[in-house]
Structure formats: C-alpha cells, structure tokens
Amino acid sequence: MVIMGSNMAEAHPVGFQWVMEAKARGVEVVHIDPRFTRTSAVADRHVPLRAGSDIAFLGGVINYILSNELDFRDYVTAYTNASFLVDEKYQDPEDLDGLFSGYDPETASYDPSSWRYEATRHGGQDGAETDERSEPDQLGSGGPAIEGGAGDIPSDPTLQHPRCVYQILKRHYSRYTPEMVERVCGVPAEQFLEVARAWTENSGRERTAALVYSVGWTQHTMGAQYIRAGSIIQLLLGNIGRPGGGVFALRGHASIQGSTDIPTLFNLLPGYLAMPHAGQETLSDYLDDIIGDNQKGFWHNADAYMVSLLKEYWGDNATADNDYCFDYLPRISGDHGTYRTVMDMIDGKVSGYFLLGQNPAVGSAHGRMQRLGMANLDWLVVRDLVMIESATFWKDAPEIETGEISPETCRTEVFFFPAASHVEKSGTFTQTQRMLQWREQAVEPPGDARSELWFFYHLGRLLREKLAGSTDERDRPLLELAWDYKTDGDEPSSEDVLRRINGIDLTSGRALNDYTELKADGSTACGCWIYSGVYADEVNQAARRKPHDEQGSYDNEWGWTWPMNRRVLYNRASADPQGRPWSERKKLVWWDAEKGEWTGYDVPDFEKTKPPDYRPPEDAVGVAALRGDDPFIMQSDGKAWLFAPNGLLDGPLPTHYEPHESPVRNALYRQQGNPTRITYGRNDNPSNPAPPEAHGEVFPFVFTAARLTEHHTAGGMSRQLPYLAELQPALFVEVSPELARIRGLAHMDWAHVITSRTAVDARVFVTDRMKPLRIEDRVVHQLWMPYHWGQAGLVDGDVVNDLLGVVLDPNVYIQESKVATCDVRPGRRPRGPALLEYIADYRRRAGITSATGTQLDTTRAPDAVAHTEPHTEGEENP
C-alpha cells in the first residue's frame, strides 16, 4: 500500500484501523510525504520529498515500469487505451519545452483537438471559450465525448507504433529517471528505486497494491493531474477494478463524498451531471454537448438521468412540451467558484451570502480576503454549531486591529442560525467507499438549533408563500417546484427525501431498483441517478446492518454503495477478456457460462448477461456498443485512459510543473508552472516571485500545512472543547534543527512566518520531522504548520490560511494550499497598522506587483503575457 498526499493516521484515524489490520497481515505500507507524521511512524518506510514535486516522483515510477517492461501487459493491452493511435498533429512537452500542442498564450488555454485519437473528432469546447469555466465538469461524469468511440479506433495491439498511447507515454516520461527524481524531489535515487521495486513487485496477476491519497494531492495547481499520475501507475500494473487495488480518495468529513455526489458546487448537478452553461438554450442543446453521437457506455443514457432529475425538481409541471422545465435551471456564464465570489464581494458585485458548515474566515485560503469580502456584504447568513469567526469577523477579525474593518462602519448584517449536529438529526453519510449509511436521530437538538433539511424546506416554503400569485416569469422556477415532502410535525422526513433521491416510477408510484430503470420520457423521477437503488424494494438499503460474520467478505448487506451496491468500481476488470479471474487468489467477479451471467463476490459492474465474447453490430452506440471485454462502462470508448484525448484543461498527460510559488527552477522544462492555472492577478491577491522572476530569495523557504487529530479543520468544533484544546493548546511551526540555526529560532520560543499576504505568530517546534532536502545544487528547507486556530474558542491563535494567496487548479477550481514560499523570523510579528507596513516592505524588496506570478507561459519569458485582472478598488501596489 502506498500512501501519498495524505497523513491518513492523523486525519483519517477511523479508516486507518484497516491499514493497521492489513499491515498486521503482512502488507507493506509506504508513506511518501514531506513530513514524518503519525502515518510515517507506523509505515514500513517513509520517503520525504519536496512539497509540490509529486508528479516528478510518480512520473519516475511510470518510467521505471515502462523502461523495464513491468506493466501487466495483458491487462494494459485489453483494458486501457495503450494501443490507440493519437493524431499526427499531437506534440508533447518533450517537443515544446514543457507545453502540449494547442496552447494559446493569450488566453492561457489549450485547444485539445490535436490530442484526439487518429480519425476521430473530440467533443466539448475549445481554446478561449474554456478559459472561464471548468470544462471537465461541463462534460459530466461520463467524461469527455470522443466521437467515434463506439467504432473501431485505429490501434496497434503490439504497442510498437510511435503514435500509440503506450509509446507516447514511454517517450513523455523517459527523462523522469531516478536521478531526475533526486534532482527535483530531493529523494535519493536508491530510495526511490526501493519504492518503485516494491510497488511493481506487489502488483500483477497474483498481487495487487492500493494507492491512497487525500488533500495533500488535490490542493495544488496540478491536483487533478497528481491523481491522474497515480491512476496511470495503477492501470499499468493492473490495480484498478481488482480486489486489494484501486485509488482511494480519502474524505475529510463523514459526508464529503456525499457533498459532491449531490453537490454544493456551482458547476455540477446531482450525479455529476454538468450544470448547463450559457448558450445551451434547450435540453437538446445540453444533451448534445454532454453525449457524443457515436460513443460507448452508460453515459450515453444521460438523457434519462437528466430528464428524471428535472421531473424530481418540478414534478407534474415538467413536461415534454416545456422541455421538462430545463429553462428553469441557471446557466454558467463564467467562473462562479467560491474564490471568484469572494473577490466579487470585495468589488461590490455580491450583496448577500449563505455560509453553511463553512468557516472561511479561518478555513479558506487567503483569510484576509475572505473577511474583507464578508465585510462588504449587505447581509450574511451563518448556520453552524457554534459562533464561529465567520459570524463574528465584524467585531473581532484581525483587520479590526489593523484598521481595515471597523465594527462601527461594517455594513454587513449577520444572521446566525444554530445548527443541529449529526446526532440530533437522521439521514445518511456517504463516505470514502461511496457507501451510504443511515444514522438515526439520538437526541433532540437544543433550543433553536435545527437540521439543514428543516432550514431549507421552510426557507423554500416561506419564499413560495411570499411569491404566491406572482406573474413574474422569473418566479416560476421557485413556484413550480415539487415541494411536497412528507413531514413529521414541522421536520421534513429525511427518509422521504432519500426515497425521492433514489427515484420513483411515476406510472406505478414504486421506488426504482436501480439506475437502469430510468427513462427519458418523463415517466421516472430521480434526485440523483447514481443513488438509484438505495431505496430499492421500498426498503431503506442504507439502514442495513448485517454483521460481517453473517455475510460474505464484501459486506454487501451493510449499508449501500453506489452505483447498484457495487463495492469495487469497474470490477469487470478483475477477470480477463474471456471472463476468467486473472488468478484464483485475486478472483472477484467472473463469467458463469452455464448460467449465462456474471457472478462473484461483488455485484458485477457490467451488464449481467452480456457474455465476454459479445461484439456489437457496426451501428451500435451507448450501452449496446460496449464489447463483452470493455470493463470501463462509463468511458466513451470503454477503456481506461492512460492518455486523455480530451476533457482536461492542462494537458492529456501529467507533467511536472513547479508550484505557483517555488524556490527552484523546473529541472525538466523551460515551462515553470502549470500554464493554465488560474491566478487572479490583483493588488489584494499578491504572489511571491518564483523563477524565472527575480527576488525569490526574499521568500526562501517552502511552506506546507495540514491537520492534527486533536482539532477539526477550522477548529470551530474542537477549540470549544476543554479536553481537545488542552491536548493542542497553541499554534506552532515545525522547523528542522538546521533551519532553526539559520534563522536563530529556539525551541518553544515565538517566531513568525511571513508571505506577501501577511505574517502569523507561532511557537517554534524544532524537530527532525521536517528534513532539509538537496535540490540540484542547493539545500531547500521546508516548514510545516497546522491550520486550526482563529480568534474564538478556549484556545486562540493566528490564522495560518492568511499566509496563502489564491491560485487554482484550472480543472476543478481547487486552491493550491499545500505549498507556497515563505520566510520565518524569530520573535512575534508586528501588530496593528505596523503589520501592513511590515508586509508592504517585504513586497517592495521582492518587487511584487499585481502581475507577479501571472506570466504563465515561461517558454516566452520575458515576453510572456501577464494574466492580471482589471483594476478594482483593492489596495494599491506597494
């Protein structure tokens, strides 16, 4: 098992018990992380690396596999796109010094048309049109449409053609050698090789290896590509869709998985259906964009998923004649993400804001920007368990001391609604395994505390009552909602909501059994197509609690896992193309020729009666076009993608780019950072300089941050509790003995960490857990901080996230909060207005302007375009 981008023992201790059980049975655990952590302490080996260099390490593993021909060749040839030929116009970063073909420096975006397979055309949008929206999400959970995916894509099963994916992969990673890994990551070549050997030796026909990651991967400007790189390794080694393999995305709360399945995201609808965008005037327009004319797989049925969702939203009011009320859905017209919204608050474009289970004043990147944004609203609604900093910023934020916010003149009216905790309401959690588990209400919420379900149900009810009788067309979407949920007193029934999420056959009124029963003719309603089956047979399947010793090894009768209670996704890949297990030791599902069906220990993630030798007719599309040996049933070509011919904004292959703020030059390419990252070049969002920019020595050290077991994220739930506050009473910064000597830091004394955004105080913790690393011809020092403190609670401290600026992964709008550059000095930081002058002086010495860090194409330096924002009412350049 490889754990990378996660301190699982610390941040996910309940799930980590299974790692410890596996370790007790002989599983080797490798932890790759910049810091020696509680996970490292129980792992078989810990490999420290420089924060932000993960793709160089993973690319080295890919190169090791390919150059030594250690891939699981039968699996790779049959189940991935390794043999498919790529368009002859494609050019690699090896050809363009770090850029892929199709890059436009003016818009900092790619036209992906040259990445397509030979003799196919791509779906989705191109170039500048994609610059202001998250195109991968616009394509939905089926991924990008590849027209012609249902046909015969030109291929070379021998994997020798120079334009086949396998050879492109081999060439792309050929310079990611053990020596290069050492130069970039600071990992000695021999230590890297030990990991590569262990990973490959524990993979293949008879063995599988698991890969575990968390926000240590996602919170980077290359976060999506980090995950892609890990997935490529697992595919090459045959570790996807098989028992003991997989890529595990650890979730930080009990239902973070659920909050993306049924999302609180601006660009997704439930079940990873794309939110409509400007220009999609009709349902047909929308479906044409997310479904290819000639593609394979279950995503071709997205019309049934979408129409059923619209029927759940608007009930009898949604008919074929009015496009099932598709026009009632909002349209994406640009970047509507959380960070863009905060900047729009500062710029006076947003008047009101709802904060639900979030504490951005402490928990989000660039806390100062968050607080200044909230201070420029007309009204703010906060729902939380306690009075968090985001509810009290107007009177006790750090900006009160600096004079940037005045309690007497702050315009924002704050409404605080106490929220019920998880034991005070019933409902489901959806966790890392995609498992829905029902929880019963244990106690009544105290006082005025109420559940989210109560709050939104009654908010909707009151709004509808106020608008009753309105003839304004803009009120129709709200007035025509199907808002008739069952209630118990004044509390909406969470079971009734779950049943509607599951889906209902409107002709019979019965709950649907699975998503294959959904129809595009308006005869079914379903709140989330991937959850269809959680209320099968009119039974709350999530409430099942059959003990482990009374059922099979996959615990199929404990809770319910989407989709269709399958515990391992794409498990058709656990059998060979003929339907036989790759090995007896690793059997999971297989073809039973006598019964004419797929069977096994898990619910087969495949059509139950489609035989392995099934070959579709030439004109088949969608599900019918899937061959009997196409295990990746949501992909438009039925194969797992080593190379992504469309759908990613920053390239078809993971490529090592330096973080947005880095102390070193990219050793592999002239292109320094992700050329499509979102930078928001503004006076109030400064960046520290990074090569090839000058004055990086002003911020010479690498900063990274993470969680502690004793506190919970932004601290609102833990800084109020005496026993947890006592265990971790103060903010601290971990530094190596070498860095402590360089900066004159003493163990347990005060120090302050500085970036171009602010400075924060912390106690010094001198430890060997943060090792200096040799990168090229210099030693790079890293420091680490936990981020749980704010000004409220039994223990308080400066806000660590204030140190970070806002720069995002272009695919998913996640901030780069796991790596930055900084300085650290002994003693406490200046207070009040003196702090502003102190930071301004650092900016002057570093030559920082709103353009710093925004020249994304460094292959053209110094003539690159600066991607800054139009002037706003932010602070002036120093």
pLDDT exceeds 70 at position 147: no
Examine residue 510 and state whether it is found in any structural domain, yes or no.
Answer: yes
pLDDT exceeds 70 at position 201: yes
Q: What gap in Å lies between CA 473 and CA 494, rounded to an integer? A: 31
What is the predicted pLDDT for the residue at 143?
A: 58
Say whether both 546 and 425 belong to one domain.
yes
**What Rg, from alpha-carbon coordinates, does the chain have?**
27
pLDDT band at 130 (very low <50, low <70, confident <90, very high): very low
Q: How many beta carbons lie within 10 A of that of residue 547, not counting itself?
A: 9
Contact 663, 780 (CB under 8 A): yes
Measured CA distances, 584 to 22, 206, 244, 572, 590 (Å) = 20, 8, 14, 15, 11
pLDDT exceeds 80 at position 142: no
pLDDT, tens digit (0-9, with 9 covering 90-100), for 803-825: 999 999 999 999 999 999 999 99
Residue ending a domain, among 565, 583, 609, is 565
Report, as an integer, the average pLDDT of 419-423.
Answer: 95
Please report, rounded to a whole number, the percentage of residues in the chain having pLDDT higher than 90: 90
What is the predicted pLDDT for the residue at 251?
A: 84
In a 3-state reduction of DSSP, which class is residue 757? coil
Residue 495: which domain range?
Answer: 256-333+420-449+491-565
Say whether both 425 and 546 belong to one domain.
yes
**Into how many domains does the chain fold?**
2
Say whether both 819 and 682 belong to one domain.
yes
What is the predicted pLDDT for the residue at 3?
A: 98
pLDDT band at 871 (very low <50, low <70, confident <90, very high): low
Examine residue 294 and state whether it is found in any structural domain, yes or no.
Answer: yes
pLDDT, tens digit (0-9, with 9 covering 90-100), for 274-303: 999 999 999 999 999 999 888 999 999 999
Contact 607, 620 (CB under 8 A): no
| Sole residue written with tokens 């006082």 | 447
What is the predicted pLDDT for the residue at 553?
A: 84
Contact 217, 226 (CB under 8 A): yes
pLDDT band at 145 (very low <50, low <70, confident <90, very high): low
Query: Mean pLDDT in the chain?
Result: 94
Report, as an integer, the average pLDDT of 644-673.
Answer: 97
Q: What gap in Å lies between CA 59 and CA 236, rounded to an integer? A: 12
Examine residue 263 and state whether it is found in any structural domain, yes or no.
Answer: yes
Contact 39, 10 (CB under 8 A): yes
pLDDT, tens digit (0-9, with 9 covering 90-100), for 668-707: 999 999 999 999 999 999 999 999 999 999 999 999 999 9
Q: What gap in Å lies between CA 5 and CA 26, rounded to an integer? A: 23
Say whether both 425 and 277 belong to one domain.
yes
Say whether both 537 and 682 belong to one domain.
no
Contact 671, 688 (CB under 8 A): no
pLDDT band at 873 (very low <50, low <70, confident <90, very high): very low
Instruction: Cite the beta strand spans of 719-829 per DSSP E.
Output: 732-735, 750-754, 759-766, 773-775, 778-780, 782-786, 820-826
In this structure, what token pair is assigned to residue 277?
Answer: 């965008």
What is the predicted pLDDT for the residue at 264?
A: 84
We report the CATH number of the domain holding residue 719 as: 2.40.40.20
Examine residue 65 and state whether it is found in any structural domain, yes or no.
Answer: no
Contact 592, 599 (CB under 8 A): yes
Residue ending a domain, among 531, 565, 599, is 565
Say whether both 560 and 704 belong to one domain.
no
pLDDT, tens digit (0-9, with 9 covering 90-100), for 775-785: 999 999 999 99
Q: Say if residue 271 is exposed, middle or buried (CB neighbours under 10 Å; 0-12, 13-18, 19+).
A: buried
Q: What gap in Å lies between CA 687 and CA 107, rounded to an integer? A: 20
pTM: 0.96
What is the predicted pLDDT for the residue at 357?
A: 86
Residue ending a domain, among 565, 600, 616, is 565
Q: How does 554-587 read in b/e, with b if 16+ C-beta sit within 10 Å?
A: bbbbbbbbbbbbbbbbbbbbbbbbebebbeeebb
pLDDT exceeds 90 at position 349: yes
Say whether both 310 and 441 belong to one domain.
yes
Q: What gap in Å lies between CA 348 and CA 800, rounded to an integer? A: 26
Report, as an integer, the average pLDDT of 131-145.
Answer: 53
In this structure, what token pair is assigned to residue 317?
Answer: 């009011």
Examine residue 732 and state whether it is found in any structural domain, yes or no.
Answer: yes
In this structure, what token pair is assigned to residue 81?
Answer: 């796109």
Question: Residue 837: beta bridge partners?
Answer: none
Q: What gap in Å lies between CA 818 and CA 33, rounded to an integer? A: 12
Taking alpha carbons only, the member of 739, 737, 684, 712 closest to residue 871 is 684
Report, as an integer, the average pLDDT of 514-538.
Answer: 98
In a 3-state reduction of DSSP, which class is residue 33? coil
Say whether both 700 and 831 belong to one domain.
yes
Examine residue 525 and state whether it is found in any structural domain, yes or no.
Answer: yes
pLDDT exceeds 90 at position 152: no
pLDDT, tens digit (0-9, with 9 covering 90-100), for 228-261: 999 999 999 999 999 999 999 998 777 788 889 9
pLDDT exceeds 50 at position 416: yes
pLDDT, tens digit (0-9, with 9 covering 90-100), for 714-726: 999 999 999 999 9
pLDDT exceeds 50 at position 876: no
Examine residue 100 and state whether it is found in any structural domain, yes or no.
Answer: no
Residues 6+ apart with CB under 8 A from 156: 83, 85, 164
Examine residue 862 and state whether it is found in any structural domain, yes or no.
Answer: no
Say whether both 837 and 691 belong to one domain.
yes
